[in-house]
Homo-oligomer: A and B are copies of this chain.
């Protein structure tokens, strides 16, 4: 399966890489075929899609939209590193943080927005990673969601 063809079918267009907000590598090689991404927020056209806390300042559905924007930003960073997203073989791990009110409790539903998109683009076996979805009181730039990925490519 060509992931670019799949993205065209789904009407998904990658944004330019989101730019860095600190001193780090956006994508870092780990062993002979694994890569860790840095955590990425939900900025679209340079500003956060949503800010504040889920259950107070944005809804579950808005959080899912923010999670999808995180995935687009992550894929854009990965493409800048690998040059070809078809080199991705398998996503291993998703760590998703949702800025949340104290009684929100629906972080998995929010991060499902990201998980669903990875599966839609890369297929069930490649896309369905292990995952933790965690609530926190505040994220960089007061953004709604931040996600990091661990993935595998074919060995070079």
A residues within 8 Å of B by Cβ? Answer: 21-28, 30-31, 34, 36-39, 53, 92-95, 97, 99-109, 111-112, 115-116, 119, 128-142, 146, 148, 150, 152
Contact = CB atoms under 8 A, between A and B. Distances in A.
A134 B134 CA distance: 11
A23 B119 contact: yes
A129 B24 contact: yes
Q: Is the interface of A mostly helix, strand, loop or mixed?
A: mixed
Contact of A28 (B25, B130, B133): B130
A53 B104 CA distance: 12
Nearest to A40: B132
Contacts of A103: 138, 142
B97 A134 contact: yes
B28 A31 contact: no
